[in-house]
Structures are given as structure tokens and as C-alpha cells.
Amino acid sequence: MELKTLREYIKEASEKGVAIGHFNISNIEALHGIYNAAKKLNLPVIIGVSEGEEEFIGKNEVATLVKEIREKDNYPIFLNADHHYSFESVKSAIDAGYDAAIIDAVKLPLEENILLTKKCVDYAKEFNKKNGRDILIEAENGFIGQSSKLLDKIPEGISEATMTKPEDAKTFVDQTGIDLLAPSVGNIHGMVKGGNPKLDIERIKEIRQACGVPLVLHGGSGISDEDFKKAIKAGISVIHINTEIRVAYKEALEKYLKENPNEVAPYKILAPAVEAIEQVVYNRLKLFNE
């Protein structure tokens, strides 16, 4: 069976009322854990690397790893440049062979954000035409915080006022030509210890209708199963999970080292971490595809 493009898998997910999981990695162990889980469920999956994660694993290396799995196993696994902050870093991800990129210019004044986002879209379009690719560009509208970690409380600067307004989402999509939109709908990056805020499901519906492109939910860690299901039905087609994977990795590693203080073989030390990631991803993918 010939693989479809990421754009087609996302369209298919949106038509079926399911969502594709996007999971971040910093190393090859996480890639294996995620791929193992996706394979068990036979579902398409997106691997994400932020600028920091990408620097650690290597930009060309991660592109090669994902492409190798996709081509060797004929499996729908794709690579996304998650939250890249400059044109140069988006461009180099595209050039390296990524399948999608997020230009995150949300900190800039709106006019500058639009210009920079459009520049990335134009570059991707040109690249696609020249190389027969279909690389997608995503951008964020509204603010959702910035770090994938455990938080004591909801970060400063996040409120209903910073959530995406449907009319703004439409203008932003029209002016930039992006393929995917990451809205702010009560989601935040990171996991809040006392529980993450609830999603504004009505807002998701309105944004999806107004902007006309598939929506990506960032900051999926810590959101309740019920909210996920409702958000997907309301128009979310891709969901980002990062912090939960980081926590699972760290806890499995800590436990193993504590129980096996004399073990030095990395492939033994890290095996439980791969399994822990697989478990998290398996459960999330299953939920996103119910």
C-alpha cells in the first residue's frame, strides 16, 4: 500500500473525527518507544523536535531516522519541527527533510508575526514545487505558554483574553496561508500539578469553522480524557504530547538505576524508559482514535 502524505492523513483524521498524535523526542530511545506504540495500533504518528531537542539529537540525524523508518517499513511516520522561532531554523528543517514545521512568532507584534509566518509558508511552497514534496507549515494564534515541564500553577499571561478569537484566526490563516493552526483554547504547555485547565470546546468549534484549516492542540499533557474526546469532535486533528513522555522516561530511568545500581549497559538501563514511553503513547493514541 502506498503511503499518503501527512496532509492527507490529517484530512482523513479530521473526516473520521479522530486525531493524530504528535510526540516529542530528544533521543532515539523515545523514537523507538513512540514507533512501537503506533505500530501496535497501526496508526499514523508525528514525531516532534523543538529547537532544543533537535540540537541534542541532531537535525539531519533525526530527519534520516524518521525517513528511514518510513521508507524501510512503509509506515506513516512523519517529522515536525516543533516551535521553531526564526525563518532560518524553519528553513533548515525543511532543507533537512522534515515533513512539517511550526513557525512560532507569537511573541512578536501581530504584523511581524504575519510577515515572518508568510515568509516560511512561501519558502515551503517554493520548496515543495521544486522537490515534489508537501511540507506543511503551522503557526500559533493566541498564547499558550512556552515550556513542556511540570508547573506549580497556570503560567502568568494566560487568560481568556489571550485565547484565540475565531475572527482573528480566520484573518491570520488568510493572511499567512498556513496549512495548520495551533489555537489557544484553554490549553497550555506543560503539566500543572493541581490539574490542567479545562478546554473551551465551543471556541474550538468556532475557530475550526471560521479558519478553514485543521487545528492542532498543543500542550496535550495533563488534559482529561473527556476533554480530549470533546476537543477532537469539535475540530482538533493533531494533538501534541511532550511533558508526559518526559516524566515517564525520567521516572523509569530513576527506578531502574535505583534498583540496579551496578548496571552500566545503556541498552539495559534505558530499556524500561523505552517501554514507559511506549505505554504513554499507546494510551494516548488509543484515546485519540476512539
CB of 145 to Zn ion, least distance (A): 9
The nearer residue to Zn ion, 23 or 249, going by C-beta atoms, is 23
The nearer residue to Zn ion, 32 or 218, going by C-beta atoms, is 218
CB of 240 to Zn ion, least distance (A): 5
The nearer residue to Zn ion, 33 or 48, going by C-beta atoms, is 48
CB of 196 to Zn ion, least distance (A): 14
The nearer residue to Zn ion, 76 or 183, going by C-beta atoms, is 183
Cell matching residue 155: 503560567
Q: Which of residues 195-254 bind Zn ion (CB under 5 A)?
A: 218
Cell matching residue 109: 507584534
Shortest-Cβ-distance residue relative to Zn ion: 218
Q: Taking CB under 5 A as the rule, does residue 22 contact Zn ion?
A: no
- Give 226-273 as a DSSP string: HHHHHHHHHTEEEEEE-HHHHHHHHHHHHHHHHH-TT---HHHHSHHH
Does 82 participate in catalysis according to the annotation?
yes
Cell matching residue 21: 498524535
CB of 264 to Zn ion, least distance (A): 36
Residues near Zn ion (CB under 5 A), total: 1
CB of 140 to Zn ion, least distance (A): 8
The nearer residue to Zn ion, 84 or 218, going by C-beta atoms, is 218
The one catalytic residue in 82, 179, 200, 227 is: 82
Catalytic residues: 82
Residues that bind Zn ion (CB under 5 A): 218
